[in-house]
Amino acid sequence: MIRSRTTLMPLIVATALFSLFFSLLNGSTSLSFTQLFSPDNSLSHTILFKLRLPRTFTAFVSGGLLALSGSLMQLLLQNPLADPYALGVSGGAALFTLILMLLGASNEALIGGAWAGSLLSMLLIFLMARKHGFKTHTLLLSGIILACGFSAAISCLLLLSPDSSLHSMLFWLTGDLNATHFPSLAFCILCLGGLLCYALAPGFNLLIRGENEATALGLPTTYYRILLYLLSSLFAATAVTLAGCIGFIGLIVPHLTRRLVGFNHRIMLPAAILLGGSLLTFADTLARTLFAPAQIPVGIIMALIGVPAFIWLLQS
């Protein structure tokens, strides 16, 4: 029986709103709450609308995409240790983006490169897994092998890179939200993808019972697995184009969400989006305030948060 607890949803929504206001107010230059609605000078207007608002919204959207991708990935693989990077999607995106960085490509080209790498990863895994009917173990093993190959290629690329490019490449690999713009396309993908997942949630609730039982109840499990893979890869690829490679959100947020609101995907998936967005927004705020005016990659903050959090989840 699918358990569902909705009483905590108002608290989760409040946490998401608090994370957004907390991010907008804090930084190397603090703003007051009234300045959010009526900036009193050109400097605070520039800080709010040109710097913090796009970065805060990008962090929230990226975190929501990663959490949603991780939730779908764990459902697809029936494995609580799966995350958006298990199938090598981020590795392909990272490799293509780093190559374009070395070539001096524009920001628009870097985004296109990340998408191209993600699509190539998806295509390769489909080609490797199709012979066995997209079984769970085949998808997982194909993704692990592909991720190892991309990791080796990235390491080789970094060793051969000139010193002038190495810092920016390493910064991006560990999560970079600098120089972000308002993520209109990513926001549309998150909203439309979230609505689609909400519509498919009854099928997801059957699939969580196991493939055999879901098939016996009339669910076309093969099509659902393909759809889950495509959606989780799309969400992860979009997050990589926005913020680089950030780990742990897709791993720990689904665990935490299921403990808070249960296993009903019509409640669990929206809650995961809100919690994932809140977590990355808080982490990004810490990344740019702990050593202000210097900034550290948000992926490092997420690792510092994610490791003890996941250990706590395993022990509790």
Burial class (CB in 10 A: 0-12, 13-18, 19+), 108: exposed
- Percent of the chain exceeding pLDDT 70 equals 92
Q: Which residues have CB under 8 Å from 102's CB, separation 6+?
A: 157, 161, 165, 169
Q: Does the structure show a pLDDT above 60 at 113?
A: yes
Q: Which three-class secondary structure state does DSSP give residue 161?
A: coil
Q: Within a 10 A sphere around the Cβ of 220, how many other Cβ atoms?
A: 12
The confidence band for 39, taking pLDDT boundaries of 50, 70 and 90, is low
pLDDT at 2: 63
Confidence bin at 19 (pLDDT 50/70/90): very high
Answer whether residue 193 is part of any domain. yes
Q: 3-class DSSP state for residue 217?
A: coil
The number of angstroms, rounded, from the C-alpha of 64 to the middle of its chain's C-alpha atoms is 6
Using the structure block, give the residue that is written with the tokens 């693989």: 77
**Is 310 among the domain residues?**
yes
* 186 within domain boundaries: yes
Q: Please check whether residue 248 lies inside any domain of the structure.
A: yes
- What is the domain count for the chain? 1
What is this structure's pTM? 0.89
pLDDT at 55: 92
Residue 200 has pLDDT above 70, yes or no: yes
Average of per-residue pLDDT across 249-253: 91
Q: Tell me if 2 is assigned to some domain.
A: no
- Contact (CB, 8 A) for 83 and 272: no
pLDDT at 4: 60
DSSP single-letter state for residue 293: T
Maximum CA pair distance of the chain? 65
CATH code where residue 311 lies: 1.10.3470.10
Q: Are 266 and 198 in contact (CB under 8 A)?
A: yes
Q: Is residue 278 part of a domain?
A: yes
Alpha-carbon distance 85 to 121, whole Å? 11
279 CB neighbour count, 10 Å cutoff: 28
The residue whose two tokens read 């690829």 is: 237
Domain span at residue 159 reads 9-315
Find the helix packing angle between 107-129 and 136-160, rounded to 10°: 140
Residue whose entry in the numeric block shows the structure tokens 């295509």: 123
| Residue 4: strand, helix, or coil | strand
pLDDT digits (tens, 9 = 90+) for 123-157: 888 788 777 666 767 777 888 888 889 989 999 99
Contact 255, 71 (CB under 8 A): no
Higher-pLDDT residue of 304 and 113 is 304
Domain-embedded: residue 32:
yes
- Predicted confidence at residue 3, as pLDDT, reads 58
Residue 3 domain flag: no
Q: At what angle do helices 221-243 and 136-160 cross, to 10 degrees?
A: 20
The mean per-residue pLDDT over the stretch 96-119 comes to 80
